[in-house]
Structures are given as C-alpha cells and as structure tokens.
Amino acid sequence: MHLRDDSLLLSASDLIGHLNCRHLTGLDIEVARGTLPKPTFWDPLLQILWERGTRHERGYMEHLKAQGFDVTVIDGVGVDDDAVAQTRTAMIEGHPMIVQGAFRLNGWVGRTDILRRIDTPSNLGAWSYEVIDTKLARETKGGTVLQLCLYAELVASVQGLTPAYSYVVAPWSDYEPQIFRMDDYAAYYRRVRDGLARAIDEHGDSEIHPDPKAHCDIYHWQDRCDQRRRADDHLSLVAGISKVQIDELKRQGIETAANLAVMPRRQMTARR
C-alpha cells in the first residue's frame, strides 16, 4: 500500500493482510499517508523464503524455455507506466509467455508471475491469457486464491475477458500447475475486496484493537502490537486462553486480565 497523487494504491498483499488482520490495514494506511513510521524489521527466515521463492520462479521459467516456449520478461520490480505499457504491448502482440506482467486498475496494482497465452478469443484477437503463480507452500491457501482473483481481474482489464482458470505451481509438483476455476471464488474475492475498500473509507471512525492473529509473526508490527496488548492488559495475556473464551468473557463485561483475576469464582462457574 502506498500513496500516489493523494490516492492509495493497493496490491494483493494488502488484500491478504486485511483478510488476516483488520488492524494491520489501519497501520498500513497511516504509513502510506506518512503519519506513522514503518518499523525496521529483518527476519532471516523470511529472507530465505523470499530467495527460495525467487529461485522457484526462475526454475519454472527455465522449465518453460526447455519446453520450447518463448518467454518475454517485463523488467523492473515496480508497477510504473513503462512496465504497464510493455505488458500491454506484449499481450497485444501475442507473446506466448509473459513473466512479471505489470498492471494497474482503479487503484489496484500487481505483477503476475506468468501469463500464458491460450487459444480463447478476446479483445486481443484469437487469443487471451491465463495467470500462473509460483508458490512455495505445499497447500494453497485462501490468500493465494485472492491473489489469483485480483490478477485475473487485472488481466481482464486489458484483454476484455476474465480468465476462466488460474494456476499455482508448487515446487514439489514437477512444475505441474494446480488449477483453480475463477467463478468458484469470485464472490469470496469481491467480499474481501469490498471489505478492504470500506475499511479504508471508514479509517479513523473507530479503533480496531490488535487482537493476536496467526499471522502476527510474519508482519513488521509484532512488537508494537504486543506492547499495546500489554499496556491494555489484554485477555490474550492469560495463559492457555482461547479466542472463544475471550469473546465470551467480553460479552460478560470482562475486558482485561485484571478484571478476570477478581471475577468471583461462583460467577465464573455459572458462566462456563
């Protein structure tokens, strides 16, 4: 997420981040607007995973070349005007495989790992493109599906046709793509996408507390959120407590660990 001409540009990582934690969305908005500094964070494990992901994508590209495909690479890492124009030109010219295609649409940006030309007519001519994404995970998760849906929408903005299928190539698959039918996930994608748009529009109206999430370990804000929970004496600090138990205690007016400590035993037993 970053600011361009007073408008926020969003990517698949923002979509996935919002799915995992609404508080994260608020923090990212503040960073993009310059009202909050982004924390300095380096995790060697994440660096290793990034490098492995890059090698996997490069390996798949070499696999495609060995299969006889002509591969066109869009240079650069950002989504600037030149990269977007190169991608559009390559699609119009019908290049068989396009690596790192760049797209921008209504505040959304993205770079696709692989675009594969297929013999389905579109506004481009007698062909169109499908999206192939390379991932390290053995099991494709909801975030990856959301990313594929966003990329399919971005590709449709150029060719006038939403790809019927998108694909994931995992490293253990001998480069055999897993297939995903986009219509099966379209409603789910629209719900999360529109939820993120509402969160941005409503940012500042009410505070969202940084509840512990499964993905806290991979985001830069872990220390900040942990300090906030300790300052608030959050119920998550109670050893072994579950999210279900926290929600029930809050419904009963127990908001902090200190509240729980003085809760009468008889009251606690009655509410089990």
Same domain for 172 and 249? no
Residue 207 lies in a domain: no
Rounded Cα gap, residues 97 and 113, in angstroms: 10
How high is the pLDDT of residue 219? 63
What CATH number is given to the structural domain containing 137? 3.90.320
pLDDT tens across the length of the chain (272 residues): 888 877 889 999 899 888 888 888 888 888 888 888 887 766 677 778 778 888 888 898 899 999 999 999 999 888 999 999 999 999 999 999 999 999 999 899 999 999 999 999 999 999 999 999 998 876 677 888 999 999 999 999 999 999 999 999 988 888 899 999 999 999 999 999 999 999 888 876 666 667 776 666 656 777 777 888 888 888 888 888 888 888 888 888 888 888 888 887 655 555 55
How high is the pLDDT of residue 146? 92
Domain stops at, among 145, 175, 201:
201
Domain stops at, among 177, 201, 225:
201
Task: Report residue 269 as tokens.
Answer: 């037993």
E strands within 92-248? 97-105, 108-118, 128-134, 165-169, 178-181
How high is the pLDDT of residue 207? 67
Rounded Cα gap, residues 167 and 60, in angstroms: 13
Same domain for 175 and 223? no
- Among 171, 156, 153, smallest CA distance to 124 is for 156
How high is the pLDDT of residue 255? 83
Same domain for 49 and 72? yes
Same domain for 189 and 266? no
Same domain for 96 and 181? yes
Residue 208 lies in a domain: no
Rounded Cα gap, residues 240 and 43, in angstroms: 27
Domain count, the chain: 2
Residue 8 lies in a domain: yes
Residue 209 lies in a domain: no
How high is the pLDDT of residue 168? 94
Angle between helices 142-159 and 12-20 (to 10 degrees): 150
How high is the pLDDT of residue 217? 60
Rounded Cα gap, residues 48 and 106, in angstroms: 33
Q: What is the pTM of this model?
A: 0.82
How high is the pLDDT of residue 94? 96
Same domain for 98 and 189? yes
Contact status, residue 181 vs residue 162, Cβ threshold 8 Å = no
- How far are the Cα atoms of 109, 160, 162 from residue 123, in angstroms, in the given order? 21, 6, 11
Domain that holds residue 234: 216-270
For 92-118, letters b (16+ CB in 10 Å) and e give eeebbbbbbbbbbeeebbbbbbbbbbe
Same domain for 32 and 92? yes
How high is the pLDDT of residue 125? 96
Domain stops at, among 201, 235, 254:
201
